[in-house]
Structures are given as C-alpha cells and as structure tokens.
Amino acid sequence: MNPELVDWFSLEGQVTIVTGASSGLGASFAETFARAGSDVVVAARRADRLGGTAETVRGHGRRALAVATDVSDPGDCDELVRLTMEEFGRVDVLINNAGVAHAVPATRETPEQFRSVIDVNLNGSYWMAQACGRVMRPGSSIINISSVLAVTTAGLPQAAYSASKAALIGLTRDLAQQWGPRKGIRVNSLAPGFFRSEMTESYADDYIDNVLMPRLLIHRVGLPTELSATAVWLAAPAAGFITGQTILVDGGMSVT
C-alpha cells in the first residue's frame, strides 16, 4: 500500500482517552486505536476490568494507562485528564464512550432512574469534553458515541437513553462551532446501530430476530471493529475537514 495513504489513517505518536473502556465497544476502541499507533488511556468505573484492556493495548506495542473514573463526577474527569497529562504530556483524541441504559416504561420511570442515565451519557460526555478541551492542541479530535436511537426508535421503552443520545448530537454541533475556530479541535459523533455488547446481552432472542433484524439492510449485527475503525478514520488526518457531524454506523436501520 502507498505509504502516504497509510499516513492519512495513522495515529502514530498520539494519545487517546477512551471512557467506558472496561469491556465491549470501549475495549474495541482502545485496541483499534492502539493498532493505529496511538497510546491509550482507558477509563471506567469498574477499575478491576481495566487491566485487561490496558494489557491488550500494550500487546500492540503502545503505552497504556488505566484510571478508575466515574464520568458523571466532574472532579473524576479533571483527575483523569490531569493523570494523562502527567504521564503523556498531551491529549489528542477523546472517545466519549461511557454509557448506561435501561428499558423502563415512561409512566414508571423514576426521577432517579432518568437522571442516572442523563448523568453518565450526556453530562459525563460534557465533563470529559470540557476537561480535555482545556488541554487539547489544534488538530485534536473529540468523538462522542451517540446511538441510532437518537434518530429512530427500536420497540423498547428507552426514553432516558434516547433523549441522552439525541442531546449528544446537539452537544457535538455546539462544541464543534465553539472550538473549531478558536482551538482547532474537531468534534464529531458516531451513532452506532446494533452491535453485540454487554449492554445488549439482556435483549431477548425473539426481540433481536423479529424486531431488529428485519430493519437491518445489511442482514447481520455490526462487528465492534467496524465501529472502532470508523472512529479511527474520524480521528485521523483523513477526516481533517470533518467536524460537527454525526456518522450513522447502523447497517441501514435508521432508513427503514
């Protein structure tokens, strides 16, 4: 392959923070970014499960730092960035992946249940972007992980989750217009469709077979690497003229 073309997709010498990196899609982001050349800081509330992700990053010849972080706490977010700067001296990419979901009918959802989702999915993404935005240099990139449920429904009662992910798209646009001209930071979001992950393990087989599958124009679930590879492209020089956008990676679900 043409070396110049490879350079367009290389993250060599960069430092990436991935939240929600203890398993699933977060672990995939961490590994794929390491394979693209980036050192990776992995963060999640479940500190005991971060070690495996960090070792995977190191297995690809990159440096890794694992930090127990609750993104709903602004102080935790500031500390994560402080430790990253202490260890690596820079933050080039933020993957705002930490997220929670539950399926509760709207008439029975408690204020505490609703707020707990908003606190992680929306507020946590903002606190992390804020903390990183203060130290990021021109050319840096923030990628918010939204959801196809920000633009469509999927037959489950997920008001808090859908609202939080739709709000992330608005947050993406606003931060892009604030920080692009002033700081040279690009801000985009990915809206995944159905990917097998810890969050979706509770879905019943008949729901997957009868509700989700008929809506996928590509008749299969997504592979985590297909999502993380898209994130690498968004963070890399190849996407240097893209900001404020939401890229749907959903197998066509949003158009059915």
DSSP result, 121-143: IIIHHHHHHHHHHTTPPTT-EEE
Judge whether 183 and 138 are in contact, CB under 8 Å. Answer: yes
Which domains does the chain carry? 3-249 (3.40.50.720)
Give the Cα separation of 44 and 54 in Å (integer).
12
b/e burial code for range 79-90 (CB count within 10 A of at least 16 → b): ebbeebeeebee
- CA–CA dist 113, 164 (Å, integer): 13
Residue 223 has pLDDT above 60, yes or no: yes
3-state helix, strand, coil in the chain (%, to 5): 50, 15, 35
| Residue-wise pLDDT tens digits, 240-256 | 999 999 999 999 999 98
Structural Rg of the chain based on CA atoms: 17
Q: Specify the pairing of strand 64-68 against strand 141-145.
A: unpaired
| Model pTM score | 0.96
Q: What are the pLDDT digits (tens) for 20-59? A: 999 999 999 999 999 999 999 999 998 899 999 999 999 9
Say how far apart CA 51 and CA 65 lie, in whole Å.
Answer: 9
Q: What is the signed CA dihedral for 191, 196, 197, 198, rounded to 10 degrees?
A: 130
Q: Which of 126, 161, 203, 207 is catalytic?
A: 161
Lowest mean pLDDT among 98-102, 121-125, 133-137, 230-234: 98-102
Band of the pLDDT at 3, cuts 50, 70, 90?
low
Query: 207 an active-site residue?
Result: no
